[in-house]
Amino acid sequence: MAGQIMDFNGIVMMQKNYRERDLLVKFFTMEAGKRMFFIRGAKKRGFKMTADLLPFTYGTYVGDLRDPGLSYINAVKETAHFQNISEDIEKNAYATYIMSLLDRAIPDNELLGSWYNRLYHGLLAIDQGLDAGIVANIFEVQLLELFGVAPNLRNCVICGRTDLPFDYSESYGGLLCQNHWHMDPNRLKLDQRTIFYLRQFSAVDLTKLSSIKVHPETKHHLRLALDMIYSDTVGVYPRSKRFIDQMNKWSDKLPHPTDDKN
């Protein structure tokens, strides 16, 4: 297919050096899925689009979109930047992780559908101060479907009941009510709060997030549960997630402010 010159809405995912003076910049685009752009002369002094191509920038661009092959950007119409994400190491880590999950879940050049807006609003929520770890959890739950897991989090996968305590079964791909716990000895043995949030996260509209408050202990349980589900049934572990795990280990080891009596 030949190139098509068009306006497009994009969110910059990442950039990498290419040859001496050029850059490759990967975008999530609303109109054409994930695209890799070749930016000639991006590292020359006086290059005009530097700020428009930084990670966590979004806006409207004019480009020559090619499939297959690299695409080109002809002009920038209007851009803005998720400033707080860029400046905060934790927000940055979770935002990067969300983008790398979405990158793995959807092949290049395939339309993103509702995921473009979900990504934009999820990043906006993190930028505006919502709990980045929880926003990432919501993406993890909702992305399971794209990874081919699509767990049933509505009701018991065996009998359909919704009024008994639930647990999560990886082998049955969803919830088991208490009457059917015996069917999976390897069920995850999650507490009811964790189950409650997993169910909420699967249904919440990412474009309408306003506030989320989750108790720290439940946050920890959600992290463990989703780590298990991802490692056992998805098998995707991006480098950005490795960094988050390291970061959480360091912060566990730091002395707690209230421990310091001096």
Work out the widest C-alpha separation in the chain, in whole angstroms.
Answer: 69
Least gap, CB of 231 to Zn ion (angstroms): 26
Both tokens assigned to 126: 């993190």
Nearer to Zn ion, 113 or 160 (CB): 160
Pick from 124, 158, 212, 236: which binds Zn ion (CB under 5 A)?
A: 158
Q: How far is the CB of 164 from Zn ion (least distance, A)?
A: 7
Residue number with CB closer to Zn ion (53 or 157): 157
Give the DSSP H/E element, type plus range, for residue 22. strand 22-29
Name the minimum Å distance from CB 175 to Zn ion.
8
State the Cα–Cα distance between residues 25 and 35, nearest whole angstrom. 8
Footprint of Zn ion on 1-30 (CB under 5 A) = none
Q: 121: part of which helix (H) or strand (E)?
A: helix 115-127
User: 159 or 203, CB closer to Zn ion?
Assistant: 159
**Is 146 among the residues that bind Zn ion (CB under 5 A)?**
no
Residues of span 159-188 touching Zn ion by CB under 5 A: 159, 161, 177, 179-180
75 near Zn ion, judged by CB under 5 A: no
Handedness of CA 27, 32, 38, 41 (dihedral sign): negative
Contact between 92 and 99 (Cβ < 8 Å) = no
Q: In the chain, count of helices (H) and strands (E)?
A: 7, 7
Taking the complex as a whole, how short is the minimal distance between the CB of residue 177 and Zn ion, in angstroms?
3
**Positions in the binding site for Zn ion (CB under 5 A):** 156, 158-159, 161, 177, 179-180
